[in-house]
């Protein structure tokens, strides 16, 4: 009888562990984008190992700069969805892991990795 109770307890614990959500992780790799600074210089922004599941507003292309970023390149191991507006709003476009990219016609201000 004790063996049956022990087996039941172990199986119950295993099911609880399997049902718990995984913690947030980071995408491995680098995400890059180009932009023109407020002073008119060409620049490249990048995110190294960005967090997954969190909207990230891109540096250099926020409210302080009226021009959005462009030419995103996803070199991470996760899908990246880029957005035309801050806070992951507006038109969006998905970039595949490792090789995803777009031309300068795609304007970006925020990104979400999943």
> What string of DSSP letters covers 17-47?
HHHSPPPP-B--EEEEEEEE-TTS-EEEEEE
d(CA 48, CA 32): 9
Q: pTM, whole model, 2 decimals?
A: 0.76
List, in sequence order, every residue forming a beta bridge with 35; answer none if it has no partner. Answer: 43
Q: How confident is the model at residue 24 (pLDDT cuts 50, 70, 90)?
A: low
Asked if the model's pLDDT at residue 9 lies above 70, the reply is: no
| Residue 86 · residue 63 · CB < 8 Å | yes
**Residue 57: Cβ within 10 Å count:** 15
List, in sequence order, every residue forming a beta bridge with 27; answer none if it has no partner. Answer: none
39-94 confidence digits (pLDDT tens): 999 999 999 999 999 999 999 998 788 999 999 999 999 999 999 999 999 999 99
- Cβ neighbors of 43 (< 8 A, separation 6 or more) are 34, 35, 36, 37, 60
């Amino acid at each position: 009888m004790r063996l049956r109770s022990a087996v039941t307890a172990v199986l119950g614990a295993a099911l609880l562990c399997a049902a718990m959500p995984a913690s947030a992780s980071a995408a491995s790799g680098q995400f890059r984008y180009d932009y023109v600074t407020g002073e008119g210089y060409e620049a490249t922004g990048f995110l190294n190992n960005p967090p997954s599941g969190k909207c990230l507003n891109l540096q250099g292309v926020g409210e302080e700069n009226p021009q959005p970023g462009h030419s995103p390149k996803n070199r991470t191991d996760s899908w990246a969805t880029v957005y035309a507006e801050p806070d992951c709003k507006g038109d969006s476009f998905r970039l595949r892991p490792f090789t995803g990219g777009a031309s300068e016609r795609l304007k970006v201000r925020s990104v979400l990795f999943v």
